[in-house]
Chain A
Amino acid sequence: MSKTTDIKINLTPRDPFFKTTTGKFLNWAIKVGRYIVIFTELIIIVSFAARFSLDRRVTDLNDSIHQKEVIAQSYGDLEADFRLAQKKIDQYEQVEQRNNIVKIFPKLQEIVPENLVLENLEITRTGITLEAIAATNNALNFFINNLQVSPYFFDVEVKKIEAESKKTGGFTVLVEARTSMEVIETGEKIDLKTKE
C-alpha cells in the first residue's frame, strides 16, 4: 500500500497590492472586520427591536401614573386633614392614658378607718403621702394594716409615728405609699405575693 498525500500548489502570483498597508487593511476588513461589524449590528438591531416594547411600557406606565396622580389630587386636602386628625387623636390618646388620680379617692376611702383624721393628704399620679391623727392605737394599726394589704397600694413606708399631747391623745402618723394604677384601672385584685 502506497501512501497518498495531498499537495496543493498555487502558482498564481500574489497581488502586490495586498502587501501595501491599504491592501492589508482591506484584506483584514473583508475577513475579520466584517464579523465584528455584523456582531455589532446584531446587538444594535436586537436592542432597537427591544426598545419598541420598552418604550411602549414606559408610555403605559406614564399614563397610569398620571391617571393615579389626578385621582390622588382629586381628593384635595383630605390627606392633610386626615393626617392632622390622626396626630390629634394620637396626642389625645396619650393624654387619656395618663394615670387618673380620681380613681385613687374611693380606694383611699376604703382603707381609712373612722377614728383617723387626715391632716394632710397629697395624691399624685404615682403615689400618696398623708399625715393623719389616729385617735387610738387600734385605729393606727388598722389603717397601716389596711394600707399594706390593699392591692392598690404598695411600697408602704411609715415615715413618722408620734404620740400627740396628753390633752388630745392619739398618734400622728406620716405615711408614703405608691399606687398601683394598673390594678386600680382594671379593678382586678392581684395576689399579694406576686405584687411583692
Chain B
Amino acid sequence: MATKKNKQIQQALIKFYHNPVAKVSFELFLTIFGVIFFAIFAIRPTLLTMSDLIKEIEDKEKLDKQLQRKVAALSTAQQEYQLYGDQLQLVDEAIPDRMQLIKTLKIIEKIASEQDLIISDLRLASIPNEGRKTLTSENIARIDQGLELSVMGSYPSIRDFVESLQQSRRTLVANVVEFNIKEDRSQTTLEATMTISIPYFKAKNE
C-alpha cells in the first residue's frame, strides 16, 4: 500500500515539475538573482566610485576657487599693507598693545602742566596687569581702563586740558567732566573732576 502511495506522490511531483509555470519561475528566479548579484557586486561599487570622484572634483573646484580668491585678496592686502604700513604705528600709539600705565600718566601730567593745571587727585580702580601673550586677531580684546582725575585751574585751562586729552596721540576719552567751585580760606578755586577711559589691547583670558 505504502509503495503505491509513494509512486502516486512521485508521479504527481514529476507532473508538477513538468509544468511550464515551474520552469518559468526557475528562470525568473535566476534572472532576478543575476540582476541583484551584478547590481550589488559590480554596478554599485562602480557607481559609488564614480560619485565619490565627482564629489571630490566638486569639493576641490570649490577649494580651488576659494584659494584663488584668497591669493587675490592677499595680493591686494599686501599692496594696502605696504601703502599704509607706516601709519599703523599711529594706531599702535593711539591704543597700544599694553596699558603702559606710567607712560600714559606722564602724558596726562605733561598735558596738565602745559595748561598750568594742578593735579589734585588721581585714582585708578586697579593697576592693570601688563600682559605678555602675543596678540593675534583671534585673541585680541580692547580694555577700557578707567581713571578718575581731579585738576585745579581756570575754566579755559581745564577746557583746553580736556581738548588736549582728546587730541592726544594716545587715545584718552573723557567721559564725564564735573566742575566745582571750592572755597578754601577766602580763596576760590575751580576744580574739575573727570572720568577718563584709557583704552588698550590685551590678549583674551590673560
Contacts and interface: CB of A to CB of B under 8 A. Distances in A.
B43 A40 contact: yes
A24 to B, nearest CB: 6
Interface residues of A, number: 57
B13 interface: no
A81 B140 CA distance: 12
Contact of A120 (B64, B135, B180): B180
A82 B63 CA distance: 22
Nearest to B179: A121
A54 B159 CA distance: 74
Contacts of A189: none
In the complex, which range does the number of interface residues on chain B fall in?
A: 35 or more
B173 A98 contact: yes
Nearest to B90: A92
Interface stretch (A43-51, A149-157, A171-179): A43-51
Nearest to B75: A75
B133 to A, nearest CB: 13
The main secondary structure of chain B at its interface with chain A is: helix
B67 A68 contact: yes
Interface in B87-112: 88, 91-92, 94-95
Interface string A120-137: 111111000000000000
Interface string A22-42: 001100100011001101100
Interface in B16-58: 23, 26-27, 30-31, 34-35, 38, 42-43, 46-47, 49-50, 53-54, 56-57
Interface stretch (A58-66, A161-169, A180-188): A58-66
Interface of B: 23, 26-27, 30-31, 34-35, 38, 42-43, 46-47, 49-50, 53-54, 56-57, 60-61, 63-64, 67-68, 70-71, 74, 77-78, 80-81, 88, 91-92, 94-95, 135-137, 140, 142, 159, 162-163, 166, 171, 173-181, 199, 201
